[in-house]
Structure 1
Amino acid sequence: MGMELTTIRDVHKHIGQTVRIGCWVHNKRSSGKIQFLQLRDGTGFIQGVVVKNEVSQDVWDEASKLTQESSLYVNGTVREDARSQSGFELDVSGVEIIQVAVNYPITPKEHGVDFLMDHRHLWLRSPRQRAIMVIRAQIIRAVQQYFDENGFYLVDPPILTPSSCEGTTNLFHTKYFDEDAYLTQSGQLYMEAAAMALGKVYSFGPTFRAEKSKTRRHLIEFWMIEPEMAFVDHEQNLVVQERFISYIVQNVLVHCRKELETLGRDVSKLESVTVPFPRITYDEAIRRLQENGHEITWGEDFGAPHETEIAQQFDKPVFITHYPASFKAFYMKPDPNRPEVVLCADMIAPEGYGEIIGGSQRIDDPELMQQRFAEHELGEDAYRWYLDLRKYGTVPHSGFGLGLERTVAWICGLEHVRETIPFPRLLYRLYP
């Protein structure tokens, strides 16, 4: 059987021809004289039809041995079929078993989330999980395309750092030979240094938060996209963010229609994600929340219910700008006209998905940055280099961070971020 392998994704190129596919049995049913094999190969799903009086006894017997998740090579003729989900079927003429799987643990019946998470390595094979992973991969591709097409350089910050950019309370501590080190929670400070060398940069890598949080929006290990741009102010930063998010969403709509259908996603909600995005200030957000019966006063940060309330008032992502300096990061630039608020924005996704981007213009005044270090009791030993950025050729600059998994959850319409990453790390889960 020396035929070259084809993929299920490419069968449309071979209508009326015999192809050979390496695949697994996703499901199987039989009606006496016909066996229907639901086959998958990673690129898609197709039904293989084995008709008893059209194949040899050997082929029929081999097909009869197949069980859920058995692996095989199948030969067959590609035929168009409007009723099938893929639009094609395979009239099977040959079956070569690689392995018959025995007692595959995930059956078509309902399983609890814990059971599925314990078998995450197998759960990934299901149509829904596969669709999510395909969309995740497309989002990553779109992120890189957007930055490549807009003059950004990819820069990789370190994962091991001497301390934290936002205090060490939620960091994983480790030993770096005889020094203390931490797993990074953000590459931002290093990206600021890179922006002073390359102009426009972005990082894309894993970040870690040791928060004992169990919400549907939190992971312990997640991926962040962190652009940083020299000579860009707060206003220009917002324009980059909305164009970037719109680009990603429209790109997924073009390339992943089938996967969004598999997930039952209402794509009309995604189609409306076009620039410009609405903007409201923190002051206005507080007013809107109070008018809708939320007990919140100026100076308090927003929780999930507050973000959801604001998001419900818009049909696309909304920027909330000019938060109080009191609870925002030390490096955010105060508004020159009103120093108690900072030139920052959170982008809140629609449909209750919460904050997907946090960004700001950064402080570029060396004296103010020195003052912030003192106020926040940040160790100058670990971050003398960061102060150097303001000392040697400081410029206005801005940046933002996008959480990949929250973005995947929103675009896919998922209840929980645990399905957005192949092997989630949660508060009580380090397996598999």
Structure 2
Amino acid sequence: MEIITMDQAVSYLNQKVQINAWLTNKRSSGKIAFLQLRDGKTYFQGIVLKEEVGEEVFDTVKGLGQESSLKLIGTVQADERSSLGYELLVHSIEVVGESHEYPITPKEHGTDFLMDHRHLWLRSSRQHAIMQIRNEIIRATYEFFNDRGFVKIDPPILTGSAPEGTTELFQTKYFDEDAYLSQSGQLYMEAAAMALGNVFSFGPTFRAEKSKTRRHLIEFWMMEPEMAFTDHEESLQVQEQYVAYLVRNVIDNCHLALETLGRDIDVLEKYTQVPYPRIEYTEAVQLLKDNGFDDIEWGDDFGSPHETFIANQNDQPVFIINWPRSIKPFYMKVNPDNPETVLCADMIAPEGYGEIIGGSQRIDDYETLAENIKSFKLDPEVYAWYLDLRKYGSVPHSGFGLGLERAVAWISGIEHIRETSPFPRLLNRLYP
């Protein structure tokens, strides 16, 4: 007998199969019981008829606790009322693991309670849907870059320097010297691009920001491509194509998850159309000032209200391009059309989700980069290897970073980023 998951039901209609699952809820009426089940892939219904399984098994079914694990043998049958389209007519049940007094009941629970029970909260239909979308974004990322000839490279997590030149780092001891948890793999990806052309990384990064906003995590995953012989304009095109590709694949492959979350697919469809709109930083400042944002001046970074207002002027993600040199990292190339700015862009997601991509063209000239390292008061010895990349066959190159969890939150349409990570690390939360 075939052991299947219920998402394979279309290939087993009217056939007897075994499905291993957990019980999420149940109700019974006289001689019939309706079991709400999940098998790790999807949620589905099992029908238990007393006359089919016998009184002893039926009584066992009525006594099952929420989240009991089961082996079910039954016949797959069509069910037009189900979002899946199928249900299981159960012939026999084996209880694998009993569950009693499961703490997360169908009633409402507070956020702190759910976060304390994150190891169990992951089992809920909403969290299941979010993780399915996260997984699809990761799968589609590998597909997008592999299909375009990029090579996956893994930068180190322990580093001896700060790519962004910030003090918001987790410091540790690396034997007899200081080390830091990586806040970006970018510098190492530049080295990889000089060896392999077009490369990308996908891994954990860490920011010791003491922030409690709905957009911030302490530990998050970054996708960072770096492209040799690539200028800023070419990089922007890759960025918008990549994001549109992610949205397209979630729409096509996660329809049940999107339905569970109540996500409007018509809205998502707009995000699959490229090119995305662009606005110069200088124009964005003027737009804000013209609309009552008196707190912003040229040279200031944008906060959440500023980003949201700019994003709301469009039905798609928007690039804010060419930011002031004074508020951007040391490695960004000066804009030849305005030397007070650099060739960079932040992609701002619609619907108030903020920045999901930051990217730039990198400085490819040795002397310019060496001068920047000094002016930013960084240690030239620490960055000697990075400067070497400009000594031996330097080329124009560009790259960007996408924060996975912010992208998941935006595409899923969920309010808080904490639900996008299986086990989120937040300010004052390291458990479980």
Which range, TM-score by smaller chain? over 0.9
Match status 1:128 vs 2:126: yes
The Cα offsets for residues 49-101 of structure 1, whole Å up to 9 and x where unpaired, read as: 11122322232122122111001101111110101222112111101111220
Give me the whole-angstrom Cα distance separating, in 1, the residues matched to 2:6 and 2:90. 14
Q: Which residue of 2 aligns with 1:275?
A: 274
What secondary structure sits across from 1:26 in the alignment? strand
Give me the whole-angstrom Cα distance separating, in 2, the residues matched to 1:4 and 1:267. 35
Q: Which residue of 1 aligns with 2:385?
A: 385
Paired amino acid for 2:89: D
What secondary structure sits across from 1:254 in the alignment? helix
Matches for 1:368-379 after TM superposition, within 5 Å: 368-379=368-379
2:156 to 155, 158, 170: 158
The Cα offsets for residues 171-209 of structure 1, whole Å up to 9 and x where unpaired, read as: 000010111000000000000000000010111000000
Q: Which residue of 2 aligns with 1:107?
A: 105
Give me the whole-angstrom Cα distance separating, in 2, the residues matched to 1:173 and 1:213. 18
| Contact 1:405-1:417 at 8 Å conserved across structures | yes
Give me the whole-angstrom Cα distance separating, in 1, the residues matched to 2:201 and 2:48. 50
| Structure 1 stretch displaced more, 120-129 or 334-343 | 334-343
Match status 1:84 vs 2:82: yes
Matches for 1:268-347 after TM superposition, within 5 Å: 268-273=266-271, 274-295=273-294, 296-347=296-347
Q: Which residue of 2 aligns with 1:180?
A: 178
| Contact 2:165-2:329 at 8 Å conserved across structures | no
Match status 1:220 vs 2:207: no
Give me the whole-angstrom Cα distance separating, in 2, the residues matched to 1:381 and 1:339. 27
Paired amino acid for 1:39: L
Q: Which residue of 2 aligns with 1:398?
A: 398
State the shift of 1:4 in Å: 3.5
1:66 to 64, 67, 85: 64
State the shift of 1:41 in Å: 0.6
Give me the whole-angstrom Cα distance separating, in 1, the residues matched to 2:167 and 2:402. 22
What secondary structure sits across from 2:341 in the alignment? strand
Paired amino acid for 2:61: A
Paired amino acid for 2:5: T
The Cα offsets for residues 270-310 of structure 1, whole Å up to 9 and x where unpaired, read as: 10111110011001111111111101111111000000000
What secondary structure sits across from 1:228 in the alignment? strand
Q: Which residue of 2 aligns with 1:98?
A: 96
Q: Which residue of 1 aligns with 2:240?
A: 242
Paired amino acid for 2:203: G
Give me the whole-angstrom Cα distance separating, in 2, the residues matched to 1:52 and 1:166. 65
| Structure 1 stretch displaced more, 384-393 or 61-70 | 61-70
Q: For structure 1, which runs of at least 5 residues remain unmatched after alignment? A: none
State the shift of 1:138 in Å: 0.3
| Contact 1:163-1:181 at 8 Å conserved across structures | yes
| Contact 1:65-1:100 at 8 Å conserved across structures | no
| Contact 1:62-1:96 at 8 Å conserved across structures | no
What secondary structure sits across from 1:341 in the alignment? coil
Give me the whole-angstrom Cα distance separating, in 2, the residues matched to 1:158 and 1:331. 19
Give me the whole-angstrom Cα distance separating, in 1, the residues matched to 2:336 and 2:85. 60
Runs of 4+ in 1 over 4 A off after TM superposition: none
What secondary structure sits across from 1:156 in the alignment? coil
CA RMSD of aligned residues (A): 0.9
2:254 to 250, 256, 259: 256
| Contact 1:62-1:95 at 8 Å conserved across structures | no
Paired amino acid for 2:288: L
What secondary structure sits across from 1:310 in the alignment? helix
Give me the whole-angstrom Cα distance separating, in 2, the residues matched to 1:354 and 1:245. 14
Q: Which residue of 2 aligns with 1:413?
A: 413
What secondary structure sits across from 1:11 in the alignment? helix
Give me the whole-angstrom Cα distance separating, in 2, the residues matched to 1:351 and 1:37. 37
What secondary structure sits across from 1:261 in the alignment? helix
What secondary structure sits across from 2:88 in the alignment? strand
The Cα offsets for residues 91-150 of structure 1, whole Å up to 9 and x where unpaired, read as: 111011112201000000000000000000100000000000000000000111000011
Aligned residues: 430
Match status 1:53 vs 2:37: no
Give me the whole-angstrom Cα distance separating, in 2, the residues matched to 1:297 and 1:365. 31
TM-score (norm 2): 0.98
* Identity across matched positions, percent: 65
Paired amino acid for 2:410: W
Give me the whole-angstrom Cα distance separating, in 1, the residues matched to 2:52 and 2:338. 81
Q: For structure 2, which runs of at least 5 residues remain unmatched after alignment? A: none
Q: Which residue of 2 aligns with 1:23?
A: 21
Give me the whole-angstrom Cα distance separating, in 2, the residues matched to 1:381 and 1:24. 57
What secondary structure sits across from 1:147 in the alignment? helix
Give me the whole-angstrom Cα distance separating, in 2, the residues matched to 1:6 and 1:254. 23
Paired amino acid for 1:94: S
| Contact 1:78-1:89 at 8 Å conserved across structures | yes
The Cα offsets for residues 317-343 of structure 1, whole Å up to 9 and x where unpaired, read as: 000101110100110000123210001
State the shift of 1:168 in Å: 4.2
TM-score (norm 1): 0.98
Give me the whole-angstrom Cα distance separating, in 1, the residues matched to 2:276 and 2:131. 27
